[in-house]
A and B are shown apart, each in its own frame.
Chain A
Amino acid sequence: MSDQPLNTVGKSELRRDGLSHVTGKTQYIDDIQFPDMLYLKMVRSPLHHARILGIDFSEAEKVPGFVRAFTYKDVPKNLYTILCLIGVGPDEEPVLAEKEVLYKGEQIAAIVAQSEEAAIEAAARVKVDLEELPAVFDVEEALKPGAPILKPWGTNYFVYEGHPFRRVRYGNIEQGFTQADYIVEGCYEPKPIEHAPLETTGCVAKPEANGRITVYTNTQALYFSMDNTALILNVPFNKLHFVGGTVGGGFGGKVDVIVEPIAALAAMHTGHPVKYLYTREEEFHVSSTRVAYRIYFKDGVSKDGHIVARQVTSYADSGAYNRHTPYAVTKHAANISGPYDIPNVHIDAHCVYTNRVPTSAMRGFGVTSASFATELQMDKIARKVGMDPFEIRLLNAYRNGDMRPYQKVVGDATLVEVIQSAADMAHHPLGERFQAMNSWDRANSPARPEPVSAQKES
């Protein structure tokens, strides 16, 4: 094998779109203009939870420049869920609300007009007759008997293979607690975060002469958006041509499929290009946020600092609809025991629906929330046991060959070395036996407790 010179590895590469960005030549959605372009503005629910009794477009239609209004009746397949493409179901989110709205800001009707001002004016004049319903905003309240039920299958939670939450079971949690010297509890509540990209969510859908629809979009998920749009419009996938790639800030906030289906439908029906671009206010109020969680920990800890049992009950606030949250909760459940070798683990991770704005993906979704909780909890444990926070992590860190609670064996672990490097960079001295630890054996560690079931067998 010859030694080839490395041309790119180990070198800093300038962005291949950097020149375009600094000269202002990059095209973003709002830069797209067509002479006969129409503008789409959405009529949104002013209430958190309501029944739709009727919609009156008569005043809107009088606005000069008004072209058309769309309701759920115009959408070929109105119910969808973004991750249906990877088997996550059921379809539960409407493109345009049918009989009920589940969050303030939910899409009810789309107005298309010849100018942005006319679309804003016409949308403001649509009269929606709503019957307000009781709303629920708290994840635990939403699971109590008597809470308003938000989903057609009669509950406020996502079902994971027949279970009301994502479950992780490893060892024997009750016996694990009996082996503990301390019980350390904690509750951690990371809040929703708005991505606030500088470029708002949007697209321009354009009907082409050959019958295809071109959709220029700033989605982060081009194939998700194209495939879901095709399913919603009930057209063959090759009827659509999605053009994307330049995202003016995403961070997970542009992975939901929201603007493209209705804009493409409007383009199909009007025969004109249609722009649907969120205002800054819509981006803040209506676009999805990072998932908020309420996470309860109950850990059993031995006096030498080992976590011998971890029980976590976690509630994710999905808001009104799925989006990416059911998937996030699966990742969350896997990661909420932390990168630590714990012999007895019991996780119940709920994905709960409330009348809040739907939550979805944001950088490291499902896992960042878990890290927030596990590491605050670890510091709490360190204080309880009287151990250094770096050293207690080194003690509990997983090594190669360990079995994770979700039944996967660890390989290629480097956690111990990373913690040691961090301590070094922080000028934080470590005890000798902690400096000597590594990721492939426990030569320098005291024997750790075995999972209770393994003990029974021996």
Chain B
Amino acid sequence: MASKIVTFTLNGRETEVMVKPLTTLAKALREKLGFTATKCGCYEGNCGSCTVILNGEPVLSCILPVEEVEGQNVLTLEGITPTEGLHPLQQAFHENFAVQCGFCSPGMLMISKALLDKNPHPTKAEIAEALSGNLCRCTGYDPIIAAVQQVAAGSNGNQGGSHE
């Protein structure tokens, strides 16, 4: 089978990418399209670093064939970073020292955004459950949960960010 062209909406823009069969979304984003904010810590769907948002739901891009997002909406960290300033979650992560080496951060930010979009005022237990598929070896998780709680407490329902 020859390579095929997959067309999908990426961060609000219609995007085409040519891929060999079964190329993952992570590989398409990172190597074909140059969107390297999404990270791959394991390539086996275990660490959560590659989390992106597909039609409003978090998915693991390192194990998702990009053909499966044909015609659909993909949101990555690049898509929530405003031209100036920071998304409230990015600001909160930075201020709460929820970021150390930074490798898990894109995945953590995306799963946190997915959570707050569905549940703007989650309990600590709900935050912990939602983020439980994302591993971090640096922070011990508490600063990350505190950052999400801070945004949840401060939000008036308007999450800001672009290309949603």
Q: Decide if A and B touch, CB cutoff 8 A.
A: yes
Residues of chain A touching chain B, judged by Cβ–Cβ distance below 8 Å, are 14-15, 17-28, 30-31, 33, 195-200, 246-251, 279-280
With A22-B90, A22-B93, A24-B81 already in contact, the answer to whether A30 and B102 are too (CB < 8 A) is no
Which of B37, B41, B94 has the largest count of A CB atoms less than 10 A from its CB? B41
Interface residues of B in 130-153 (CB under 8 A from A): 135-138
Q: Which residues of A contact B95 (CB under 8 A)?
A: 14
A17 in contact with B102 given A23-B77, A198-B137, A249-B137 (CB within 8 Å): yes
Q: Bound state CA distance, A17 and B47, in angstroms?
A: 22
Determine the chain A residues whose CB is within 8 A of the CB of B100 once the complex forms: 15
Q: How far is the CA of A180 from the CA of B43 in the complex (A)?
A: 58
Q: How far is the CA of A198 from the CA of B39 in the complex (A)?
A: 9
The answer to whether A25 and B103 touch across the interface, beta carbons within 8 angstroms, is no
Query: With A and B bound together, what is the CA distance between A27 and B37 in angstroms?
Result: 9
Q: Given known contacts A28-B39, A247-B101, what 17 new A-B pairs fall within 8 Å (CB)?
A: A14-B94, A14-B97, A18-B94, A18-B102, A20-B102, A22-B91, A22-B109, A24-B81, A30-B30, A197-B103, A197-B137, A198-B41, A198-B136, A198-B137, A248-B103, A249-B103, A279-B43
Question: In the complex, are the beta carbons of B43 and A199 less than 8 A apart?
Answer: no
A21 to B98, CA, bound (A): 10
Among A19, A25, A26, A200, the residue within 8 A (CB) of B41 is: A200
Per-residue A-contact encoding for B100-135, CB less than 8 Å = 1, 0 else: 111111100100000000000000000000000001
- Contacts A22-B94, A23-B86, A25-B37; A31 near B106 (Cβ below 8 A): no
- Bound form: Cα–Cα A211–B135 in Å: 41
Closest Cβ of chain B: how far from A283's Cβ, in Å?
Answer: 9
Q: Is the CB of B81 within 8 A of A198?
A: no
A28 to B49, CA, bound (A): 13
Q: How many residues of B contact A (CB 8 A)?
A: 38
A24 contact from B78, B94, B136, B138, Cβ within 8 A: B78
Q: Are B99 and A199 in contact (CB under 8 A)?
A: no
Query: B93 — nearest CB in chain A belongs to which residue?
Result: A22
Interface of A is mostly: loop
**In the assembled complex, how far is the CB of residue A194 from the closest CB belonging to chain B, in whole angstroms?**
10
Complex Cα distance, B90 from A15, in Å, reads 13
Q: Are A198 and B101 in contact (CB under 8 A)?
A: yes
Binding site for A on B (CB under 8 A): 30-31, 36-44, 46-47, 49, 76-78, 81, 86, 90-91, 93-95, 97, 99-106, 109, 135-138
User: Is the CB–CB distance between A24 and B36 below 8 Å?
Assistant: yes
The reply to whether B99 and A198 form a contact with Cβ atoms under 8 Å apart is no
- Residues on the A chain within 8 Å of B86, using CB: 19, 22-23
Across the interface, which residues of A come within 8 angstroms of B136, CB to CB?
A: 198
Query: Which of B43, B102, B137 is A21 in contact with, Cβ under 8 Å?
Result: B102
Contacts A24-B36, A249-B138 given; does A198 touch B30 at CB 8 Å: no
Q: How far is the CA of A74 from the CA of B31 in the complex (A)?
A: 31
Contacts of A197 in B (CB 8 A): 101, 103, 137
Can you report 6 residue pairs joining A to B where beta carbons are below 8 Å apart? A22-B93, A22-B102, A33-B31, A198-B47, A198-B138, A249-B138
> Given the known A-B contacts A14-B94, A280-B42, are A195 and B137 also in contact in the complex, defined by CB atoms under 8 Å?
yes
Distance in angstroms from A362 CB to nearest chain B CB is: 12
**Distance between A395 CB and nearest chain B CB, rounded to angstroms:** 34
Q: Return chain A residues, CB-CB under 8 Å to B41.
A: 198-200, 280
Tell me the complex Cα distance, A432–B44, Å: 59
A contact residues around B30 at 8 Å (CB)? 30-31
Given contacts A22-B93, A280-B43, contact A31 B81 (CB under 8 A): no
Give 3 nearest A-B pairs by CB, closest first. A24-B37, A21-B102, A248-B103
- A365 to B98 Cα, complex, angstroms: 26
With both chains docked as a complex, state the minimum distance between the C-beta of A5 and any C-beta of chain B, in angstroms: 23
**Which residue of B42, B90, B97 is within 8 Å of A23 (Cβ)?**
B90
